[in-house]
Amino acid sequence: MTLLSDAIAGELPGRPVPFVDADNRPFYDGCARGELWIQRCVETGRYQFYPRPCSVYTGGRVEWVKCAGKGTVHTFSVIRRNYPEPYFEALTPYVVAIIDLEEGVRMMSNVTGCALEDVKIGMKVEVYFGCVSEAQRVFLPFWRPVG
Amino acid sequence: MVRATEFGKEMRMRPDRMPVIVGVALSDYPKAPNLTSHGHHAQALQRVLEESGVRLQDVDGYMSVGTGGMNVDDVATMAEYFRIKHRWAEGSQIGGAAYQGFVDHAKTVIESGICTTVLMTYGSDLRSNKRRSLAPRLADQFVESPRCYENPYGPTILGNYALAAQRHMHEFGTTLEQLAEIAVSTRLHAANNPFALNREPITIADVVNAPRVADPLGKLDACVVTDGGAAVIMTTLERARDLKQKPIYLLGSATAQTHWSIGQMPDYTTTAAAVSGPAAFAQAGVTPADIDTAQLYDSFTITVMLLLEGLGFCERGEGGAFVQDGRLRPGGMLPTHTDGGGLSSCHPGMRGVFTLIEAVLQLRGQAGARQVPDAKLAVACGSGGILSCISTLVLGKEQP
């Protein structure tokens, strides 16, 4: 049995670092505070991810809202080989998953903190944050089983 | 501009402007260590001019995604390369659906009279040029939006398709053995193509027991990496009468997109084939049951299953049962990827144009040992991005 641990998120130097710009700064500022922020369409009240300067539903205005940070695994893959990327190859096997957030949006992330065999579609997960650049203070959301 | 419009008005009245495919050619594959990407474009161009009888100076429309790789040369550079005096250039980079998209758009450009002869070229030295890779180096680099929401988690190309495969297995009970049948049937076709990279037969057990690369998919669920290039020429039915090949008719064509990044896919078991497929079939006035041979974009086994379902060859979720009786094999009800596909023959990064060319060769009756007897109707379906943008062509041997 292979244990996935939060160490995956701990070994972060070397990961690609998100470029923080005017469109996504509230998202990454939230991550640095330990909060998950996404956007909501002002007109329809529907949520969207990833951050964009306009609504995907109407093209109109969006506002930022804080998420509960709870989700469900929608689908996932256990990545066993990643030759082109020595950093990730060293982490194999690891889980890339699509997470359904309670708010109704999806995002890609890694699921950690449990046995590989225990990762299942429908599994309840909660968000935590890992630092990918000390210098830039950039944090990413990761997910682990609830409780 | 005004002249082009007037020309268009005049020409629209003439039924002979029906757009047809009059030339198809491949450059050397699967390994061509002496050809650059530009060299693949050039060799395919020379071969398509020779086989079609079209003269380069008659080309007035040009469509290409360019070269890709370290030094990307786009459609404008390639037009300069071949000194093409075009009145319409297009380089829409919708990935593996690009050349189906080009054919779809060339139809309109020719019918409207803007152009009379449209050339398309493709070329890639993906296998021989070690500096090239489809997967960009990610580590220690800043990644901009929207790639910054995925790349830092270590997704892989196969892993992205595995997300769809995992979901398909979860929702419909699809098995690894059913997915494996797609690799097995494609390999059986490859045995009939002397140029195919891998021609030795494989079994379902071989595919299922191959090392997992990104669960649930393994090494033999994935396409090969090759060199290769291609060229296609379309013109009017009137012009075609003076050319060398029997024209192949474009009966239906449509393109649709649901997302680009895999994290944005609205439904992991439904692709835009469910839009472009029915639209193309409706234009053609035929149904999937009428099709004699299918050339689908087989980047991975799951890609084919989702395209078969989306195009309407079977219901959503029934792809596993549809393929498992050997229907896609040589001599089956629906011989599919008859040149050995991307899974066994040729995949230089963008497979779409090769599906289109194999469909044309089958309809001309020029497919040699792999010829589907009396093939009259074919589908060529390109999938670009990660199951993102799907363009579907219905092609026919006889004039509609």
CA distance B146 to chain A (A): 7
Instruction: Name the residue type at position B213.
Output: V
Taking only Cα atoms into account, the Rg of chain B, rounded to an integer number of angstroms, comes to 20
DSSP symbols for B254-270: EEEES-SSGGG-S-TT-
A21 interface with B at CB cutoff 8 Å: yes
Per residue in B11-51, pLDDT tens? Answer: 444 668 999 999 999 999 999 999 999 999 999 999 999 99
CA distance B176 to chain A (A): 14
Return the exposure string of B128-156: e unless at least 16 CB atoms fall within 10 Å of the residue's CB, then b.
Answer: bbeebeeeeebbeeebebbbbbbbbbbbb
Contact flag A82-B154 (C-beta cutoff 8 Å): yes
Which of A77, A98, A129 is the mutation pick for testing B, counting most B CBs within 10 A?
Answer: A77
pLDDT of residue B12: 47
Residues of A in contact with B153 (CB under 8 A): 96, 108-110, 140
- Examine the pLDDT at B138 and tell me if it is beyond 70: no
The pLDDT of B60-67, averaged and rounded, is 93
Instruction: Name the residue type at position A99.
Output: I
A14 interface with B at CB cutoff 8 Å: yes
pLDDT band at residue B2 under the 50/70/90 scheme = very low
pTM, rounded to two decimals:
0.94
Which among B143, B145, B217 has the least Cβ separation from residue A50? Answer: B145
- Examine the pLDDT at B137 and tell me if it is beyond 80: no
Q: What mean pLDDT is reported for chain B?
A: 93
Phi, psi of B320 (to 5 degrees): -60, -50
pLDDT of residue B10: 45
pLDDT band at residue B139 under the 50/70/90 scheme = low
Which of A21, A79, A111 is the mutation pick for testing B, counting most B CBs within 10 A?
Answer: A79
- Examine the pLDDT at A137 and tell me if it is beyond 70: yes
Residues 6+ apart with CB under 8 A from B288: B277, B281, B311, B312, B313, B379
In a 13 Å sphere around the CA of A147, the CA atoms on its Cβ side amount to 2
Question: Which helix (H) or strand (E) element contains residue B47?
Answer: helix B37-52
Contact B233, B47 (CB under 8 A): no
Q: Which of B392, B398, B399 is nearest to B282 (CA)?
A: B392
Question: Which helix (H) or strand (E) element contains residue B363?
Answer: helix B352-364
Which of B156, B176, B261 is the mutation pick for testing A, counting most A CBs within 10 A?
Answer: B156
Contact B149, A99 (CB under 8 A): no
CA distance B153 to chain A (A): 6
Taking only Cα atoms into account, the Rg of chain A, rounded to an integer number of angstroms, comes to 16
Would you tell me which residues 23-82 of chain A have a C-beta closer than 8 angstroms to some C-beta of chain B? 23-24, 49-51, 74-82
Contact flag A109-B153 (C-beta cutoff 8 Å): yes
Which of B148, B151, B169 is the mutation pick for testing A, counting most A CBs within 10 A?
Answer: B148
pLDDT of residue B115: 97
pLDDT of residue B217: 98
The rounded distance, in Å, linking the Cα atoms of B13 and A134 is: 68
Sketch out chain B's domains with CATH numbers.
Answer: 2-129+227-240 (3.40.47.10)
Contact flag B153-A75 (C-beta cutoff 8 Å): no
Contact B52, B245 (CB under 8 A): yes
Per residue in B343-385, pLDDT tens? Answer: 999 999 999 999 999 999 999 999 999 999 999 999 999 999 9
Burial environment of residue A117 by CB neighbours within 10 A (0 to 12, 13 to 18, 19 or more):
exposed
Q: How many CB pairs under 8 A join A and B?
A: 129
Which among B152, B212, B268 has the least Cβ separation from residue A18? Answer: B152
